[in-house]
Amino acid sequence: MTSMKLAGLLGGAVLAAGTGPQAFSAFPIVIDDFGGGPHTVTLASLSPPEIATGTFAHAGAVGGVRDVFVISQSTGLFGAGVAFGAGGYSSFTGTGFGGILWDGVAGAVDKNLDGALTISDDFDFGLNLDIVEDCAAPLIHINAFADLPDASLGLIFANSATEWALYSIALTTVGSFADYVVSVSSPTLSTGGFDPTAVGAVALFVDGTGFPNLDIRVGTFEITCVPEASTWMAMAGLGAVTGVFGWRRVRAARAA
Ligand SMILES: [Ca+2]
Ligand SMILES: [Ca+2]
Ligand SMILES: [Ca+2]
């Protein structure tokens, strides 16, 4: 399929700013290769809510820095981060939130020390990432594992404290890794001014507050262009899951 056809299908509204004459050389854009580490934080929580955070340098992560956090909402044991053999992960014994923030700036993760992670209080915007470039229909690709049904991953791409997009991906395959793909142009929720050609921060978070004992692993987090995405969908066959599901917990982005 030509890019002209794809642009026509999409209407070009969101993507016009990024279209250009170059080849697709920059794709896939790897947000994190999930190598190195272990870069993890853990929490044995006796008086929830409690938070554990860490900031780690890693050349294979966009911006060179992984900020990791886990927040308890019940008593229990909690962990999040990147570990050899597990990729990105969040593991909860109990209910909580966990995730990874890539904002290009090392330092305190919960900057205002209020025990919560919010875009407005805690994110820096040190990346300068164009996730559209010359691609007519860029896609966010996640390969992820959930050990329980009804889990979802939240992906945030932000320009600033007030301009961001949230993509909520329901992990419908339970007990094994599966590929999930969502169009950059179809966020679950976004603020009016979100610009995918000037992303300053990216975050991945797991909302494990709906039920206890959720474990999530993420092996791939990248932006790609359509031809490659079609390949994965063909490989995954009928098991492929594509699309965006309703975001039931917008509040989760605030983690409090
Ligand atoms: Ca940071
Ligand atoms: Ca905070
Ligand atoms: Ca579990």
Q: Which residue has the tokens 């008593």?
A: 75
User: What pLDDT sits at residue 17?
Assistant: 40
pLDDT in tens, 75-95: 999 999 999 777 898 999 999
Query: Global pTM?
Result: 0.80
Cα→Cα distances 9→21, 42, 165, 244, Å: 19, 46, 22, 18
Token pair for 169:
């991906």
pLDDT in tens, 193-212: 999 999 999 999 999 999 99
156 near 164, Cβ under 8 Å? yes
Number of the ligand closest to the Cα of 100? 1
Alpha carbon 185 to its chain centroid, in Å, reads 15
User: What pLDDT sits at residue 25?
Assistant: 53
Centre of ligand 2 from the C-alpha of residue 9, in Å: 41
User: What pLDDT sits at residue 232?
Assistant: 53
User: What pLDDT sits at residue 3?
Assistant: 41
49/71 Cα distance (integer angstroms): 7
Centre of ligand 3 from the C-alpha of residue 131, in Å: 33
Dihedral, CA of residue 82, residue 83, residue 89 and residue 90, to nearest 10: -100
If you average pLDDT over residues 232-256, what whole number do you get?
A: 38
Centre of ligand 1 from the C-alpha of residue 24, in Å: 29
Res. 22 pLDDT band, cuts 50 70 90: very low
Number of the ligand closest to the Cα of 203? 1
Q: Is residue 191 over pLDDT 70?
A: yes
27 near 3, Cβ under 8 Å? no
| Burial label, 6 (beta-carbon count in 10 A; 0-12, 13-18, 19+) | middle
212 near 76, Cβ under 8 Å? yes
If you average pLDDT over residues 159-167, what whole number do you get?
A: 97
pLDDT in tens, 6-21: 333 333 333 334 444 4
